[in-house]
Amino acid sequence: MNTKEKVQEIIKRLEKEYPEPKVALNFKTPFELLVATVLSAQTTDVHVNKVTEKLFKKYKTVKDYADALPDAFRKDISSINFYNNKAKNIQASAKMIIEKFSGKVPKTMEELTSLPGVARKTANIILSSAYGVNEGIAVDTHVKRLSLRLGLTKNEDPVKVEQDIMAVAPPKEQWGRISILLILHGRKICQAKKPMHNQCVLYDICPSRNI
C-alpha cells in the first residue's frame, strides 16, 4: 500500500482500539483548554488535570486570570514544571485576549500563535478540540515518535513532521482525530523506551517493528 492508504489503515485500526478519542486534558471553555495545554508542556496530562481541577474553580473567566496577583497565581500552579514562565504566559495571554480579541480566545492559527506561550501545537489543539477547526495536526512527542516509527516522516522537527503527515493524511475533518489517536496509542502501546509489539494492532504495517 502507498503512504496515503497506509494512513487510512492506521486510522481505521486505531479507531477500533480507541472508539471515542478525545484530548486527555479536562476543560469546559476554550480558555481553560489554552491554560491546560500551556501547563502540559513537559508535564503529564494526569498531573495537569489535578492542578486545573482546583484552578478552574478559583479562576472562572479570562479576566480572573488577567487580574490575578502574579505571586498568587504562580503559587497555584507551582507543582507544574516551569511554572514561573507558564504563569507569566497565561496571564499575558489573558490580558491580550481581553485587549485585542474582545475577551474571546481567537479561532485562527495566526491569532492564536500571536499569544504568549502559544505555539503551533497548542493552537492546533485549541482549534480542533475547542472549535472543531482543523488547520493543522498537533505534533507532540508521541505523534512525532509514532510518525517516525510508522514511516510517515523522516523529520525530527515538529513543523516538518506536521507537513509530512498533512501531505498524506485524509481530509482536514480528520486531522484532529489522527493526532489524538496517535497520542493515545503512543501512551498505551508504542512507548518511547519499550514499544509493546505483542499488543500493537499496527505491528504488521510498522517498518520499525524490529527495534
Interval 33-39 mean pLDDT: 97
pLDDT: is 51 or 1 the higher one? 51
CATH of domain 30-131: 1.10.340.30
CATH 1.10.340.30: which residues of the chain?
30-131
Q: Residue 80 is placed in which grid cell?
A: 507544574
Residue with cell 513543523: 159
Comparing 50 with 170, which gets the higher pLDDT? 50
Q: Which pTM was predicted? A: 0.89
Q: Which residue out of 6, 76, 140, 164 is catalytically annotated?
A: 140
Which is catalytic among the residues 6, 86, 121, 144?
121
Averaged pLDDT, 89-118: 97
Mean pLDDT computed over 81-109: 97
Q: Establish whether 121 is a catalytic residue.
A: yes
**Where along the chain do the CATH 1.10.1670.10 domains lie?**
3-22+136-205
Q: For every residue of the chain, which 3-state class applies, written as one string?
A: CCHHHHHHHHHHHHHHHCCCCCCCCCCCCHHHHHHHHHHCCCCCHHHHHHHHHHHHHHCCCHHHHHHCCHHHHHHHCCCCCCHHHHHHHHHHHHHHHHHHCCCCCCCCHHHHCCCCCCCHHHHHHHHHHHHCCCCCCCCCHHHHHHHHHCCCCCCCCHHHHHHHHHHHCCCHHHHHHHHHHHHHHHHHCCCCCCCCHHHCCCHHHCCCCCC
Our CA angle for 196, 200, 206, nearest 5°, is: 100
- Domain covering 3-22+136-205, topology: Endonuclease Iii, domain 2 (1.10.1670)
Report whether 139 contacts 162 (CB < 8 A).
yes
